[in-house]
Structure 1
């Protein structure tokens, strides 16, 4: 006699993203209807648009939440953010600790607007104390809209999966023409060199990207060069660049 399989035991979704993305699975207990989910997404996007309206000259800084204050990479991110702030840029981060904290802290030290796009996670620390505007998101994808919509450049410091996710999504948007004149600047050449080698040796050699796609990648360890690249990008985005430099 063949035993009937037991019905799976459903667990309550641990995050709003799991509640959304795994809603059709019998092992996840849904808490909302699809109409309620769509309403929540719309409310979150509306909140972001309302809070960030008028933010036109900003740079998003990404990097690991696990790099503590005093670490050379943290202090370099703080310096880059401070230089950007002194040049009139607002700074946008994910609002958490580590490189995000360094970015918000450097912006505040320069007297620039410091914005944090915080995300609800069950296993991460809370927001850092250096945010002038702290927004809280349930969904990663609504948060990502704000990173791109209100920034004109990405500055990427060493980080893990989350940083790589944001990095490659931005490169895809640029490569496919969804955004224009939007530089992605990698800071800490020693950290990123292995990734660049792999991109050239594997993606480019196999014809999976074009040679011109490598032009999307800027790598530098110089804070002033970061500022200069951002300035050129803003000029192109706003139609004020002479095309020189």
Structure 2
């Protein structure tokens, strides 16, 4: 076996970045038994790997991403980021792990409307303790890599839908995460725009050497990733190519 290589963000290709073990999650229902969405789900995503998460609506994709992102606690099971377990942590510790390891991209960009594109990328860095000058340099670099060098001073309302989502992707990568979680990141865009934005997302994720878990309903987008897994009866199963 060849030795793992290291990308620019200091993460060795092939090392475990995200591990889910025996994840269980059920939701209470008023007049019915609890609805089990995840029933012993296991998944491992390695640094440098982009994994598509597919499954019908209601299969638990978003719930799995929320748990992987430490935004929701499972009823049972373990989440590890870069080998570090999260189950014993309180809310403060989980917040610190999210800042250290994770980046998020959602179907809707959720940009702050009163701030410019550049400022939307600067703010999360400053929250993480990065000085404003350095945060601006990182923001401008990411905007340039996303083809938005001339749009940095525009507010979200002055940007197209595709441009807004490109800014959201840059924001997700601003703090140099090890794992990117994306929930239908192009689902709110027209097919042509979605194709271009997704190509930029894949390119930037590969350049950064991240582990990425991307939920999508689009089989064509899923086929462009390194591996496809599906949620079936609450468990994660590989999809044959």
**TM-score, structure 2 as length reference:** 0.27
Looking at secondary structure, tell me which structure has more strand per residue: 2
Higher relative contact order (CA 8 A, sep 6+): 2
**TM-score, structure 1 as length reference:** 0.27
Q: Which has the larger radius of gyration?
A: 1
Looking at secondary structure, tell me which structure has more helix per residue: 1
